[in-house]
Amino acid sequence: MFMKDGRRIALNAALMLLKQAIMAVLGVVFVGYLARKVGVAAWGEFQASLAIAGIVTIAAGVGVRGYLAREVAVKPELGPRHLGAALAIRGVTGTVVLGATVAVVLATRSGLGAQLIVLAAASQLATLLYSTMWLSFEAHERFQYILYAELGARLFVIALSAALLALGFGVVAAAVAFLLGNVLELAITSHYLRARLYRPELTTPPAELWQIAKRSLPIGALGALSSALLQIDRVMLRALCDEEAVGVFSAAWVLSENFRMLPDVLLGAAFAAGMRLYVQDRDAFGRLYGGCMLVAALFGLPVAAGVFLLAPDVIQLVYGGTGDYAPAADVLRILACSVPVTFAFQVVTLPLLAAKREVAMVKLLALALVADVALNLLLLPRYRAMGAACATLAVSAGALIASWGISARWAHVVELGRILAVLAATAVMATAAYVARVLAGMWASIAVGVAVYAVLLVALRVVSLRELRALLARRVRASPATVA
């Protein structure tokens, strides 16, 4: 069973990594174009509106998506009815909280900020609905449909926004394009859901919906706190500093976020199998946990080292040679250090989710949020965007240490020798990449770093040639079944 699940996890991870790689390249190019076109202040106001809409949406759905996805992963036959219940709860609560936000904004504000928040709220509602539908794709491990929906919608957004900006329209037009793209993604997701899986059944009575909502509260609180930790820095920067500080921080944040989303890919690919194995085969779950932690180190450490080294080059490449975004380089370096921390945190939480220990995680993230707010209050007035980045890194590291303590019983399955070998390979890679950057620039540094790291992984026996051959052999044998 574990070998079958392992192949499926590998395929799902490959699909999601492909999606993330494509979206990262397209997104970085587009973000740079958009940020240069509208200027640092308008860019900061746009990012602040997205953060505000994101925080407001925390109250929508109260964890229903995560709770029901876990139930469907274990009992797939519940899919149509549970998805219908999730759409009903999240659709109603999302409409209420976002509608209230729009009403408050229109009553108290005017101008660019108000327009952007209204558009962001409408866009967030569409996102809430299609992400709810994704629980079925994730629970049934049909990740390719998420890839199709994301790629089609993002290409539409990039093309439309770029055209509008080229014609002289400003950040509001770009926000409209984002809204239309999310509506398109909702339509594509709905099409694949109905054509390839099932139609959601909106038959759950109100009393049962209320019971589902109550049972979802622990996961809801967990998701709310996680979202708040992602958004709070930009919101507090806008409140305590100004839109330019938000713009500088966001310039680095959106780049690091492309790498920070890789842990979500890893956990998403392993989620359904992990929930099953935890219930049915604890030894197999332990092997899955150890493998995920190794993959977290394999990806997270070199990404952090590479981005830290090349941050000034990346900022100049994406945002141009003007000085408006130059301070974002140091911010990016700090945020890059949180990438491996986020990787490890996602893996450490896997057994906690499988064991339904959401309450312990809620307590942990509540403390993390309080610490983040306190650090921001202390650092932002003087250090602005740099202070926000430092607060993010400190809180992420603290949350990892605490969560590792909660799930300490699984620490023995992690192959410490391999993790140390990855650290050594990363250190040598970073040294070689630094020398190459000094001698020949950024692209040479990337090429040398990738080549050196790959060779060292095999030389230090982090990944053996035998394992690679076995993996390829399994993938070849699995191909006909996968295609079918």
The answer, yes or no, to whether residue 480 has pLDDT greater than 60, is no
Percent of the chain exceeding pLDDT 70 equals 85
Lowest-pLDDT range, 62-76, 98-112, 189-203, 252-266?
Answer: 252-266
- pLDDT score recorded for residue 262: 61
In Å, what is the CA distance from 1 to each residue of 262, 288, 436? 26, 12, 45
Tokens representing 479 are 């191909």
pLDDT band, residue 20 (cuts 50/70/90): low
* Mean pLDDT across 410-423: 87
pTM: 0.69
Domain boundaries, the chain: 2-414
Q: Angle at CA 56, nearest 5°, toward 245 and 241? A: 15
- pLDDT score recorded for residue 125: 92
Alpha carbon distance, N-terminus to C-terminus of the chain: 20
Lowest-pLDDT range, 14-28, 246-260, 373-387, 449-463?
Answer: 14-28
pLDDT band, residue 483 (cuts 50/70/90): very low
User: CB of 275 within 8 A of CB of 289?
Assistant: no
State the virtual CA torsion across 132, 137, 138, 141 in degrees, nearest 10.
170
* Mean pLDDT across 335-342: 90
* Mean pLDDT across 352-375: 86
Lowest-pLDDT range, 96-100, 180-184, 388-392?
Answer: 96-100
Angle, nearest 10°, between helix axes 112-139 and 171-196?
20
Q: What is the radius of gyration, based on Cα positions, of the chain?
A: 22
Question: Which pLDDT tens digit goes with each residue over 44-57?
Answer: 888 888 888 887 77
Q: Residues near 58 by Cβ (< 8 Å), separated by ≥ 6?
A: 223, 224, 227, 228
User: CB of 36 within 8 A of CB of 320?
Assistant: yes
Q: To the nearest whole number, what is the mean pLDDT of the chain?
A: 82
Question: Which pLDDT tens digit goes with each residue over 212-230?
Answer: 888 777 777 777 787 788 8
Percent of the chain exceeding pLDDT 90 equals 29
Question: Which pLDDT tens digit goes with each residue over 142-198?
Answer: 878 888 898 889 889 989 998 998 888 888 999 999 999 999 999 999 999 999 999
